[in-house]
Structure 1
């Protein structure tokens, strides 16, 4: 567009204004194609169709205007800046020789000379270096942006974990307090002690969860969660999680000698979410079993309910996915399990059962150094 405006101005003073007008018209046509063709509907590489048209336009101006237009090299460098800003590095490397060759052909047509070859070699080098420099800078900015996004994603996950896991103990405490207040005259001392013990356990759990707020400072600059790894006796961790969710009827089949290297707090969050999910959405019996699997520990939570509908399975471990589909939670529990499992180098998956569903958490016996 700027070239078209310049040529329209030159046409007023030029001895052959029709050449300037013709060149301005081609520039305007190219600008119209670039501006009004719906490029976003197609693959971005389709925009490269503009490049040969523009090279023909520049070659035409070089031949037509002779020495005056041999200064098109800076303009071609700007073309390669556009390429570097919008396309991968290989496009810069592939198009630079084409740019130099088209410019060389136009220069040799005007005035064959060794100087033209030297100019084009310099142009080729400049186009490549400028394009690579711009591409490298953009890649660094994208990496920084991705790191920041990952840090924010973990911060959101930790905040969601805290909010999600506070709901259950608060509900338990509220129920226990209401029962003590409403039935205090008829309640036995043993029953009162049982309810108050439940409240005390939930208070302890809330205190433990509240310390998770400090996790906001445990996010590395590369967006990973720093884990306080320790060997944990798995049967004790499962028993504590079952007690925390009030799963008195949950069957635990975990070898007493089985240990796993994990962050104990994170393991509790994963187990509580898995067992709580089975109790809420499945049916008894709920069974938690674990086994050693060649360097991995497989922890399976099985219920005997109606199972997970096929339309829910594809979003089972996404944020606001599976739990939200049941209408009683905001859909964070299984997403939290997936995120924490990945932080340990593990994974979680679903397998259908007849009847019910299996949620299988895989953790390494020892987490590789990071």
Structure 2
């Protein structure tokens, strides 16, 4: 739910608000010390003000603000009004003393971290402190009107900032709620869609194997099987997306025969335009299902956007293994390469592309302690998954033996998720 408008801006992050106030106190201390050169007869009060500023700076960084509500930092404003008033009196220059700028900054800080009600409650206290300091200082009395205007201006700045922050927070709450709804919807759809898709795939396989199936229907059955497989892959990708974002992705670490896995992927992709070129005896420590998913996604991408032949290969690369999928098409335009692995990337303009496949590949590769990159080929493109031969991540998180599982919450999944 969106927070009520009159309290939304008061729900700030207390540690961040305190640190920002501490920086303001520190700057005030430095300027108070610098002012001694221009008003040496006020050296003692300025030293007291600077010492108080430095003390407050230390306090704001050391106190356990996370234990307290955000409104607790409003007490720092009371100290600020007192110090600003003291500086104004000590320097004796009213608005020209420079303390007026800190008056405006203090209200701007309140606008960022506190409610409109809190700003209005502080306004008379701050105004009284500042105006009294101007009256008792040596500043000309005509500066009093300017001080009144400055007070009004500073309070207005605080209110404007508070209003903007309040609206931004309300909009953020709406976005967060929409994201929760989207996540729940995608997860539900993915779970509910996969069961009937499995049944449909089985029925299509039986129909395709029927020797009595008329020849003119075979292309239609094959097309239906491909689209059903595509929907299954999409549902799996959506589930993986939510698992990664929720820190619930599980990996089943095993020693995987890369050549055997590549042959299986080639069969899944179908057609005579897919070949396998893998160094014999190459193995990698990985989750076989997730690794197969990565290679299938790259192979499907090569078939959809490239040209045959498609080559699934693997080779040793230092302390790791490179598993690559290459096509012989026109390649990826240079302008589109930076967005290749972004979520919901649709730069290719293909209406059948959802924009999750390559992004899921990168997430899964990084969860294995590796990565995936694009390399321009001549002709075509080559997508390369790099994985450790024996992942330190896997051995550190599991006992010896196949089938041990590692939680995705402990995996190095990038923040972009």
TM-score range, shorter chain: 0.5 to 0.7
Deviations 1:232-291 (A, max 9, x none): 111121122222222443111112311111122211110110111111121211111111
Aligned: 1:130 with 2:154: no
Seen in structure 2, the aligned counterparts of structure 1 residues 262 and 123 have a Cα distance that, compared at 3 Å, is same
Alignment-derived partner of residue 307 in structure 2 = 283
Q: Distance in 1 between matches of 2:374 and 2:342?
A: 13
Alignment-derived partner of residue 121 in structure 1 = 51
TM superposition shift of 1:160: 11
Seen in structure 2, the aligned counterparts of structure 1 residues 176 and 309 have a Cα distance that, compared at 3 Å, is farther
TM superposition shift of 1:94: 4.8
Q: Could you tell me which of 356, 362, 366 is aligned with 1:342?
A: 366
Aligned: 1:95 with 2:30: no
Q: Distance in 1 between matches of 2:236 and 2:285?
A: 23
Given that 1:104 and 1:120 are in contact with CA atoms closer than 8 Å, whether structure 2 keeps it comes out as no
- Paired residues in the alignment total 265
Q: Could you tell me which of 270, 289, 311 is aligned with 1:246?
A: 270
Given that 1:349 and 1:360 are in contact with CA atoms closer than 8 Å, whether structure 2 keeps it comes out as yes
Given that 1:345 and 1:364 are in contact with CA atoms closer than 8 Å, whether structure 2 keeps it comes out as yes
TM superposition shift of 1:106: 11
Seen in structure 2, the aligned counterparts of structure 1 residues 84 and 90 have a Cα distance that, compared at 3 Å, is same
Q: Distance in 2 between matches of 1:161 and 1:301?
A: 30
Q: Could you tell me which of 311, 317, 337 is aligned with 1:313?
A: 337
Seen in structure 2, the aligned counterparts of structure 1 residues 216 and 90 have a Cα distance that, compared at 3 Å, is same
Alignment-derived partner of residue 24 in structure 1 = none
Q: Distance in 2 between matches of 1:168 and 1:271?
A: 21
Deviations 1:199-243 (A, max 9, x none): 7xx89x969x779959967877xx474422221111121122222
Alignment-derived partner of residue 3 in structure 2 = none
Root-mean-square deviation (CA, aligned residues, Å) is 5.4
Which ranges of structure 1 fall in alignment gaps of 5 or more residues?
Answer: 1-80, 139-144
Alignment-derived partner of residue 317 in structure 2 = 293
Given that 2:345 and 2:355 are in contact with CA atoms closer than 8 Å, whether structure 1 keeps it comes out as yes
Deviations 1:280-309 (A, max 9, x none): 121211111111111111111111112222
Q: Which moved more, 1:83-92 or 1:337-346?
A: 83-92
| Equivalence map 1:47-62=2 (5 Å) | none
Q: Distance in 2 between matches of 1:268 and 1:280?
A: 18
Seen in structure 2, the aligned counterparts of structure 1 residues 219 and 333 have a Cα distance that, compared at 3 Å, is closer
Q: Distance in 2 between matches of 1:160 and 1:325?
A: 28
Given that 2:341 and 2:359 are in contact with CA atoms closer than 8 Å, whether structure 1 keeps it comes out as yes
Classify the secondary structure of the residue corresponding to 2:33.
helix
Deviations 1:304-354 (A, max 9, x none): 112222232221111121575323221111111111111112111111122
Q: Distance in 2 between matches of 1:256 and 1:230?
A: 18
Classify the secondary structure of the residue corresponding to 1:227.
strand
TM superposition shift of 1:173: 6.5
Q: Which has the higher contact order (CA 8 A, sep 6+)?
A: 2
Aligned: 1:330 with 2:354: yes
TM superposition shift of 1:100: 5.2
Deviations 1:112-134 (A, max 9, x none): 76x87556424421233225658
Classify the secondary structure of the residue corresponding to 1:253.
strand
Classify the secondary structure of the residue corresponding to 2:325.
strand
Classify the secondary structure of the residue corresponding to 1:335.
helix
Q: Distance in 1 between matches of 2:188 and 2:330?
A: 28
Given that 1:289 and 1:300 are in contact with CA atoms closer than 8 Å, whether structure 2 keeps it comes out as yes
